[in-house]
Amino acid sequence: MARGEGVQTRSSSETSNQFSALDPGGRSFSDDARNPYFLSNSDYPGASLVPKILTGCENYSSWRRAMTVALIARNKLRFVNGKLLAPDEDDDDFELWNRCKSTVISWILHAVSNEIAESIMYMESATTIWTNLEERFNQKNDPRVFEAIKTKQSLAQGSSSVTNYFTRLKSLWDLIQEYRPQPACTCGAMKIIQEYHDED
């Protein structure tokens, strides 16, 4: 058999155009890392992106944070926050967009409990799923805030190391901050309040 005979290869133009998509601003992607349509070998639909699945309001905050970090690392956050809109169906990039959207939906389905997965299974858009979960589980939880403040006030180092004590304390601070975020401010007062918080 002659060298290369019977082996299917892609032409150079076909390879170079595999990820030739443009971003919403019309700029071409110079490398895969900047291309939201790029999927590496580890970005398969059944991949587990976060260590713990979403079970409800009690762990939504930490789950959302972990999922956001994972999606940013894979350059796929725009598929859930609505900033990367679907191209027209006759657009050359539509199939790439649709494949990535379906992959992101699969990641979300594998990162939630079976009960939650059943309720979002037939939603066509990753953005719709993300927004639906936000509306259902990111609720004000005054009892959790009360318990966190109460626990923080009574927390003592005891026999724990400084590192373990601070880790526990910071997790309580972060939980309170998540449910009671600081309002936007341009007068500079919030910066002072944040400095007081950091000192505490």
Predicted TM-score (pTM) above 0.85: no
pLDDT of residue 10: 39
pLDDT of residue 4: 44
- Distance between CA 34 and CA 84 in Å, rounded? 13
pLDDT of residue 140: 61
pLDDT of residue 152: 79
Check if the beta carbon of residue 24 is closer than 8 Å to that of residue 86.
no
**Mean pLDDT for each consecutive 10-residue tract of the chain (200 residues)?**
42 41 51 83 91 89 92 94 91 93 96 96 95 85 74 82 84 74 69 74
Check if the beta carbon of residue 96 is closer than 8 Å to that of residue 37.
yes
Residue 101's CB: how many other CB atoms inside 10 A?
A: 19
Check if the beta carbon of residue 100 is closer than 8 Å to that of residue 79.
yes
pLDDT of residue 101: 95
Q: What are phi and psi of 3, to 5 degrees?
A: -60, 125
